[in-house]
């Protein structure tokens, strides 16, 4: 295939890359540079995008909930969001192959971290 044969649809550059994570905000798809597609729903993608764009910064459940779900939820809604965040952390940690992960600390919240060497 010559460069002239490549259509705009063939080029799917991620909008945001951090370490091994590729995030396409337009399509709401996440993948790793190792070729693993993360199967995320829209809210999971939005949370991951928010965490990844603030790599190393801890975000509380309340802040994530307000930003992604758009309101201050009650106890039940926030507990549902916590389950979603815990599920997202498991997905990212598995796909990350020790190159990326989400940590949770009760005193500070959720933090997206990477261990990725730039050459």
Per-residue pLDDT of the chain in tens (119 residues, 90 and over written 9): 333 443 445 445 556 888 899 999 889 999 998 889 999 999 999 999 999 999 999 999 989 998 998 876 677 888 889 999 999 999 999 998 889 999 999 999 999 999 876 55
Distance of CA 5 to the CA centre of its chain: 33
77 belongs to a structural domain: yes
CA distance 110 to 106: 9
In 3-state terms, what secondary structure has residue 110?
strand
- Mean pLDDT estimate for the chain: 84
> How many domains in the chain?
1
5 belongs to a structural domain: no
Query: Tell me, what CATH number does 58's domain have?
Result: 1.10.10.10
4 belongs to a structural domain: no
68 belongs to a structural domain: yes
Range of the domain at 86: 14-114
67 belongs to a structural domain: yes
Distance of CA 101 to the CA centre of its chain: 10
6 belongs to a structural domain: no
- Residue 102 forms beta bridges with which residues? 112
Q: What's the whole-model pTM score?
A: 0.82
What pLDDT score was predicted for residue 22? 92
- Angle between helices 75-95 and 42-52 in degrees, nearest 10: 70
38 belongs to a structural domain: yes
Beta-carbon count within 10 A of 42 CB: 9
7 belongs to a structural domain: no
């Amino acid at each position: 295939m010559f460069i002239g044969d490549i259509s705009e649809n063939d080029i799917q550059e991620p909008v945001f890359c951090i370490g091994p994570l590729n995030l396409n905000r337009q399509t709401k798809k996440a993948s790793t540079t190792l070729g693993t597609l993360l199967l995320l729903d829209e809210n999971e993608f939005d949370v991951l995008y928010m965490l990844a764009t603030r790599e190393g910064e801890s975000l509380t459940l309340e802040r994530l909930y307000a930003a992604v779900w758009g309101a201050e939820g009650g106890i039940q809604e926030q507990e549902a969001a916590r389950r979603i965040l815990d599920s997202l952390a498991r997905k990212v940690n598995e796909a990350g192959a020790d190159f990326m992960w989400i940590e949770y600390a009760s005193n500070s919240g959720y933090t997206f971290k990477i261990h990725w060497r730039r050459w």
